[in-house]
Structure 1
């Protein structure tokens, strides 16, 4: 959220740091890793300078927050969720930065709604989807209500785009909970709302999101058909980040179809596009981080595991280290399961199930049906009659899980 407002206010990280008495690297760390591992006092200082309501960054709206000497461990996640729920229940939202004040009321509302959506997306990395689902759906209802009351077409277009983004997030949460039917419904709603907004780039993203979902669900043909539609839309407005993301999505769909040659070709295209992405250029979608080489490597690792090609995994493992150490624990657990699958193909059973156990613990902690089902699929791929101790321990843990 800090990054969104800073970019919108046309401030560099160095300028923001100087204004707040911080270094450029400190601002960079704050934007990259969030408040989960950051000093709350500094977060409050930055938010105050940017005129972001403290509740939008998970802090209580109290002066004491700005001076209290805390390290972040005492700020509970439920406080952030409670604050976010209050935001989405409010009839009128305050614009989060001075830069938004030049817009009309509807423009300010759309901007504030979008900031709240981004906050929920940040929370997804460290919060069970079941806890996020209710406030996100309330947020969606609020966006729809405001859109229905908008008094001009331009405002309705902006708010339709916001509704599309929230519906997409609802689809992601349903997917994480293992509710595939609801996930498809929400992704479909996101696509319809994006088309209503007139934003072809947003519509392309939502189609691509559904395509990724279908690929992970094993529906390669449907995924590739959707991605072809996405490519036709992006060709009208080529952006390096979007092109890299699309090629990586095609890589996964080809891997699910069992086509290693086409998957490798798409990976090369993704890597080439990622090299053209400037770190200073904002991503085409505010909730999407810069698509870099580490993400391409992580996709090679994932596809290598699906294709049973451990050499792909070995080649990508070091470069994908950034994704393995990211703050999004659920995503990290899924990559661990990909790595475990590669170990399994190579016959390294102990390493495979050691990694899988760590991933499973994350799935249980966040009640992620997606992680648990991927763990079950990994176990089904082990067919040896001789079960090592690490496999027996994994079975005992897996059989006792009921989400």
Structure 2
């Protein structure tokens, strides 16, 4: 869509909307300036007419950075008028005022307007995959599971009528949604459901010849095998045997193998895998995109957290504490549930070396993150504090 003249954005109505921090009013103004009805904007952006109506009425949909970015691109609205930075990062206020339920409400009916498969639909499905992934990272919501299932079913339906490269692309997207459904089942301790959907992700990734997704499905299977270090190691190694996988996926596979080796107390091999992963990080290149990409989170902070966790499993709690303490000031960009898991591990490390005061303080932080995010992964990690009577309440209070 062609940009509107710059003078349009100087209209009093726009200035008033920006001053009132009302992105919904800016969007409504831009839609009318382009001569579009709500249903026409919805069709262009991949949303339903009712979603656009709610968006313009000032609901929580108007305060989520990814929702805003999609509409901003469609209408060619100057990003700063919606509180968006030029590179697609919204202000903290907009992030806080949005939420998983708003995202689900928007995406639930939006992509159903698709009549036939196309590269544009594939791109929007990948944007939706990133949206629900980011929503889950900040707050676990039961509403995500049916939304993800609906998007999976839509992708699968489109795949059946597609051919050639488009069909393979939709198979790859289906695999990404199936993997996410496996993750959502894991979050609720539905291990059978987690394994079922992860296996389906593997099948569809193989059919799509998406090597990165095949490797990631192996990594996820390895994560689901926690407690059986032989399976953890074997599945992580299977991921590394996939040909031509990206450096990001090789890093994920190496650090997952290191987890299994740490549980098996094979210290030298564990640390060797972590060193190999670190050496690969320089080759990891992340593309700036709003679409979901497997391994987009791979960075040095995630790898350091995994190293600290492995050190704790290897009985080197003092070193784990030092590593965690050194990185906690640098992990603000890491999703809260992941911070919570490793904060709980840090509490256990302090308890292991006998510093119960520090363990209590850090444990309280982990409990807070568990309550804010709703993540059962943090809750399960906090149960590791149960052997210490002073910390036992944290193991059950989240």
TM-score (norm. length: structure 2): 0.73
Q: Does residue 53 of structure 1 match 2:76?
A: no
Q: Does residue 136 of structure 1 match 2:121?
A: no
Q: Indicate which of 376, 379, 384 corresponds to 1:377.
A: 384
Matches within 5 A, 1:2-401: 41=23, 53=45, 61-62=55-56, 71-72=93-94, 73-75=96-98, 77-88=100-111, 90-92=112-114, 105-148=117-160, 150-214=161-225, 217-233=226-242, 236-237=243-244, 239-278=246-285, 286-289=293-296, 291-321=298-328, 324-326=331-333, 328-380=335-387, 382=388, 387-388=389-390, 391=391, 393-394=393-394, 398=396
Q: 1:220·1:253 contact (CA, 8 Å) conserved in 2? A: yes
- DSSP 3-state at the match of 2:125: helix
Cα distance, 1:205 vs. partner? 1.7
Question: Cα gap change, 1:223/1:393 in structure 2, threshold over 3 Å: closer, same or farther?
Answer: closer
Cα distance, 1:260 vs. partner? 1.6
Give the count of matched residue pairs.
Answer: 333
Q: 2:344·2:363 contact (CA, 8 Å) conserved in 1? A: yes
Distance 2:365 2:297 in 1: 28
Question: Cα gap change, 1:310/1:392 in structure 2, threshold over 3 Å: closer, same or farther?
Answer: closer
- DSSP 3-state at the match of 1:320: helix
Cα distance, 1:40 vs. partner? 7.8
Distance 1:248 1:334 in 2: 16
Q: 1:242·1:284 contact (CA, 8 Å) conserved in 2? A: no
Structure 1: tracts of 5 or more residues without a match: 1-20, 22-38, 94-103
Distance 1:105 1:55 in 2: 16
Question: Cα gap change, 1:86/1:273 in structure 2, threshold over 3 Å: closer, same or farther?
Answer: same
Q: 1:208·1:226 contact (CA, 8 Å) conserved in 2? A: yes
Cα distance, 1:231 vs. partner? 1.2
Question: Cα gap change, 1:301/1:307 in structure 2, threshold over 3 Å: closer, same or farther?
Answer: same
- DSSP 3-state at the match of 2:176: helix
Deviations 1:6-36 (A, max 9, x none): xxxxxxxxxxxxxxx9xxxxxxxxxxxxxxx
Match of 2:86 in 1: none
Question: Cα gap change, 1:132/1:315 in structure 2, threshold over 3 Å: closer, same or farther?
Answer: same
Q: 1:194·1:200 contact (CA, 8 Å) conserved in 2? A: yes
Cα distance, 1:287 vs. partner? 4.3
Q: Highest CA radius of gyration, 1 or 2?
A: 2
Match of 2:73 in 1: none
TM-score (norm. length: structure 1): 0.72
Distance 1:269 1:166 in 2: 30
Structure 2: tracts of 5 or more residues without a match: 1-8, 10-20, 31-40, 63-76, 84-90
Moved more, 367-376 or 111-120: 367-376
- DSSP 3-state at the match of 1:360: helix
- DSSP 3-state at the match of 2:143: helix
Q: Calculate the aligned-residue CA RMSD, in Å.
A: 3.5
Cα distance, 1:61 vs. partner? 4.4
Cα distance, 1:261 vs. partner? 1.6
Match of 1:25 in 2: none
Distance 2:298 2:215 in 1: 16
Deviations 1:289-328 (A, max 9, x none): 2533222211111112222212331442255336642351
Question: Cα gap change, 1:279/1:371 in structure 2, threshold over 3 Å: closer, same or farther?
Answer: closer
